[in-house]
Structure 1
Amino acid sequence: MLDFTDCPYFWPFCRQPMYAGAMPVIFNATILNGMGVIGYVKDQPLWQPSEDIGNLLSVHFTYSDVIWPWTGYLALHLQVKDEGSQFSGIISGNVTLTIYTPAAHGESSPRSSTCILHMKVKVVPTPVRSKRILWDQYHNIKYPSGYVPRDSLNVHNDILDWHGDHLHTNFHILFNMLRDAEYYIETLGSPLTCFDASNYGTLLMVDLEDEYFDEEIQKLRDDVIHKGLGIAVFAEWYHVDTMVKMTFFDENTRSWWTPITGGANIPAINELLAPFGIALGDKILTGDFSINGEQTHYASGTDIVQFPAGGFLHSFQLQENSKTVQDHIGTLDTESTQGKGKLSSILGVIEAGEGRIAVYGDSNCLDSSHMVTNCYWLLRKILEFTGNRVKDNVLFSEAAQLKFPVFENIHHPSRRTDVNFSTYSTVVGKELICHQDSRFEVWGTKGYGVQPIGTSRKLPEYQMHESSSSPNVTIQIAGSRQDKVERLQRNLSIPNAAKFDDKRDYFGFIGHEEVDIGMLMASQWMIPCFAATAFVECNKNAADEGRGRWLVLIG
């Protein structure tokens, strides 16, 4: 039974009820076919509500064309219809699925079995706009794929950003905090053109590494200036020389690994914020500071180098580590580089047309993986501003207001030219399209009110060598006989999920730093439905595909 009201067993679903106008809730059910090695889904799965009020819940299905070997998937996409915007209560019913398998030797007819999956969800009236937050997950590059380095360079025992960067993994404490504060937070797994800005108070963009379509940049500007959307950006470090020094030879794959971007993709974020006159730099800043008595640790963040007049910009004494010598795995040698800190701008807030923007240069204070001190207090102040137009006296102090625009006379961070980013990106070289994790009405389209600019985004800086068809990285090594070493070949096996456009994330045990790669993230939970010749039962276990055994994932 899928009881979305059962807490804490069904966390995170039980922490937030469903409501009309929200992004669909996606649940992955794994089909285990005990009748034979191969099977098929007979007809479309059926949603049968227990009461008439259950028709307010719209359920779409995607499922395996062929169940082989013995296993397949059934994905449930749940969305409350617009006519249920004022409904409050429980909706329950059954999802019925029939599976058939070709007849075995000596049998005259195919084998068939029916699985019934009981479901129960809680629905509340649609919240007010100021309390609705949209989390941008689409522009996060998921592990395993490219080598995305960790966010805090002071961490010695973790070289990869591999904890998911999702509300249900290393940001799960943040998710619980926002729910405790009575915010409703949804996840956007498609481009920025695939959401209606009039429904949300704040777009929360934390530690993002991917690029942006031109249509996304254009739409976001319109959403802020004309539709009153608030944006909260929490960035990370970006420094090309540091990335190059973090290259290492991986003994497992027998290949060279080099970061495809920094802690965050600052060149891409700068393009997104350029219409508002905001830009981030390439310094790596570390240190402690306080705002109104709240002590905060700044861990390998970046600085703000451009901000418009009329905005409020906050600067603090922080240590710059951009030129610090690093070892072969890129661990920051801070003990030998301590010095007097310099005044750096790291926090800015401004009103832009009908909307509001807040930018902060570090996300480690929201990430539970390597957090030293949290900055939830700062996030709450920012959300009050971006979503509800409430101006905190500290953030909007007269001393922090800019009479003239800030524009540091430096070159803005540039992209690496020796990395084929399209290999890892969901944007570069890809088509702009709303996937099946967006609202039903925009599935397969370019989104809301998009004026087509181009079919895909390209980064012209990277040039593929004619001598190789490999789309990966070329690394130059001084003193080597060959000018080029073998391109990066991971050979990481990623399960096929064509129905989801490979939008799988990876789930880690809550509260732990180590992540089991073989386990799926909570945004696409799994529950096996056993189909047998004599009986059918639904089991609350999920497949650990990496090790071929079953682990309890729900709750």
Structure 2
Amino acid sequence: MYEQGAGRVDLLESYEILRSYQPRASIFPSVLDYTDCPYSWPFCLQPLYAGAMPVIFNATVLNGMGVIGYVHSPPIWHPSNEEGNLLSIRFTYSEVIWPWTGYLALHMQIKEEGAHFSGVIEGNVTVRVHSPPAQGERAVRTSTCVLKLKLNVVPTPPRSKRVLWDQFHSIKYPPGYIPRDSLDVRNDILDWHGDHLHTNFHIMFNMLRDAGYYIETLGSPLTCFDASQYGTLLMVDLEDEYFQEEIEKLRDDVINTGLGLAVFAEWYNVDTMVKMRFFDDNTRSWWTPVTGGANIPALNDLLAPFGIAFGDKILNGDFSIDDEQSRYASGTDIVRFPRGGYVHSFPFLDSSESGATQNFLLNSGMQADSPILGLLEVGEGRIAVYGDSNCLDSSHMVTNCYRLLRKILDFTGSNIKDPVLFSKSVKQDMPLYEDDNHLSSRRTDVNFSMYSAVLGKDLICRTDSRFEVWGTKGYNLHIRGRNRKLPGYDVIDLGRGLNSTIDTSNSRRPKFTEKNKGDYFGNRYLGLLFWQLDVPELVASQWLVPAVIAITGW
């Protein structure tokens, strides 16, 4: 869909259409068929199911009636059959369509009554567009747009097979100089490929789906998901900071709720970052990295409750684990890990500024191993940390580590222990420990709040999170400062057959609505539960249309 777009233009057919054309509004694409593979990738690869994050799609509204148009009432979902009432949709859309184009975003999730449903849901979404009368006309021009929808739904998969991908803490290109993850790559200095399941991690996404995993995207803070629904939280190559509430909730999620945590880090070395400063001829200004390949000081704060920390080495080299040859490309090392965990170490070259002495020793025949992989059981949950993400990133990958990733997810999600990864020879009788003053420190010469979604910002669940926590601080936290907590599983009915609308003071802002489908075939299905994939924006014209992107957007 995103590669092909609308397809090739047929000039003769276009001419015939224009000969009899009547001004109207339309939606592009006019059909969303999530059963059509590979055209509808990535949506066709993973069906919807109850209990997950909302699937988001952004369509384009084209107004042929005039340069300006208005949407006065919320879009409406018309299911084709009774099973269609299992689908709950909220809409965000352009109330003012100008010039010629606007957007219609669908936030779709399956109600909890559909937890055991398997089948196809079909129906239409309609939206009415009004435009001022043309010259010589008196009546307002009105057109009803129709978007045909076809979705594949499956029963809610087991918790162990559900993986949540953290997109929120990946800083989006291009607000600042986010350096590349592999320093061996000389012709691509910026980390600008999205770091998203559907861009440079798309091969990994396909592999996990083929392996039977269901991957959802979290585009909001860690307080905005229910940990009891997921086997593993997957955090890969993250650059942002963390709210204190996120740190506290994750600790509770792992120790008490049994959430699995898998972290793939990257290099971070302040001295190396300082030397990467350069003068950009386009902006006529000096560019300096605002963080490393990943934000190791922030990750260390997040992992501190578990006694885990990464160092500031920049390691490179080949190694073998479980008869699988791998390349460690500008990864970091583990400097703190609790006793009783399993830590794998290998000899590498340290290319950081502070690693020159070590490189001399290694080249002199003295081999020093660096810990790069750690696995740990803590409370009810399990944690796996690895110091490099380039083996998952298809942009500049030398070798992949998909096999290792599957074994990690088997451990974090199902407590299946691979005999090689959990060999007695790598079990820690004594903890790894580095003093605080030797851990990586944040840069003091960079205003990181300019690029961060955390520093100086309010903790709030966005419109890519479950409907029940939209606009709140998340699960088990006070709602908008009021002294009450969100329910964990209670059904929140938003509408019972009516549209509920949150009005906005500015007509240019998106309008939030929900349609409960009980109108059309009775109230056989009532309730609310959820799921999300996050998607790239689809734009049908040359104009930039506002996008709704889950894993928070890029």
TM-score by length of 1: 0.81
* Cα distance in structure 1, aligned partners of 2:230 and 2:168: 17
* Cα distance in structure 2, aligned partners of 1:274 and 1:452: 27
SS of the aligned residue for 1:363 comes to: coil
Please point out which of 313, 316, 322 is paired with 1:286: 316
| Corresponding residue for residue 439 of structure 1 | 466
| Corresponding residue for residue 194 of structure 2 | 164
Cα deviation, 1:89-128, whole Å, max 9, x if unaligned, reads 0000000011011123332121111110100000000000
Q: CA deviation at 1:287?
A: 0.3
SS of the aligned residue for 2:452 comes to: coil
| Corresponding residue for residue 382 of structure 1 | 408
| Corresponding residue for residue 351 of structure 2 | 321
The alignment of Structure 1 onto Structure 2 pairs a total of residues equal to: 466
Q: CA deviation at 1:254?
A: 1.2
Mean Cα deviation higher: 238-247 or 164-173: 238-247
Mean Cα deviation higher: 165-174 or 63-72: 63-72
Q: CA deviation at 1:451?
A: 6.0
| Corresponding residue for residue 551 of structure 1 | none
Q: CA deviation at 1:69?
A: 1.0
After superposition, the Cα gap between the structure-2 partners of 1:453 and 1:393, relative to the gap in structure 1 and judged at 3 Å, is: farther
Aligned pairs (5 A) from 1:116-515: 116-323=146-353, 342-409=368-435, 411-450=438-477, 499=510
Aligned pairs (5 A) from 1:53-64: 53-64=83-94
| Corresponding residue for residue 27 of structure 1 | 57
The percentage of counterpart residues that share the same residue type is: 70
Cα deviation, 1:19-54, whole Å, max 9, x if unaligned, reads 000100000011111111111113110000000110
SS of the aligned residue for 2:326 comes to: strand
Instruction: Determine whether 1:74 maps to 2:104.
Output: yes
* Cα distance in structure 2, aligned partners of 1:181 and 1:85: 22
Q: CA deviation at 1:214?
A: 0.3
Matched-pair contact (CA < 8 Å) for 1:250–1:256: yes
- Root mean square deviation, CA, Å: 2.4
* Cα distance in structure 1, aligned partners of 2:427 and 2:542: 53
Matched-pair contact (CA < 8 Å) for 1:236–1:300: yes
Cα deviation, 1:477-530, whole Å, max 9, x if unaligned, reads xxxxxxxxxxxxxxxxxxxx96499xxxxxxxxxxxxxxxxxxxx9334556xx
Matched-pair contact (CA < 8 Å) for 1:319–1:342: no
After superposition, the Cα gap between the structure-2 partners of 1:358 and 1:454, relative to the gap in structure 1 and judged at 3 Å, is: farther
SS of the aligned residue for 1:346 comes to: strand
Instruction: Determine whether 1:103 maps to 2:130.
Output: no
After superposition, the Cα gap between the structure-2 partners of 1:499 and 1:302, relative to the gap in structure 1 and judged at 3 Å, is: farther
SS of the aligned residue for 1:219 comes to: helix
SS of the aligned residue for 1:523 comes to: coil
Unaligned runs of 5+ in 1: 327-333, 456-496, 502-521, 529-541, 548-555
Matched-pair contact (CA < 8 Å) for 2:95–2:509: no
| Corresponding residue for residue 482 of structure 1 | none
SS of the aligned residue for 2:473 comes to: coil
Matched-pair contact (CA < 8 Å) for 1:320–1:342: no
Matched-pair contact (CA < 8 Å) for 2:67–2:99: yes
Mean Cα deviation higher: 271-280 or 104-113: 104-113
Q: CA deviation at 1:256?
A: 1.3
| Corresponding residue for residue 534 of structure 2 | 523
Matched-pair contact (CA < 8 Å) for 1:29–1:525: no
Q: Which amino acid aligns with 2:386?
A: Y
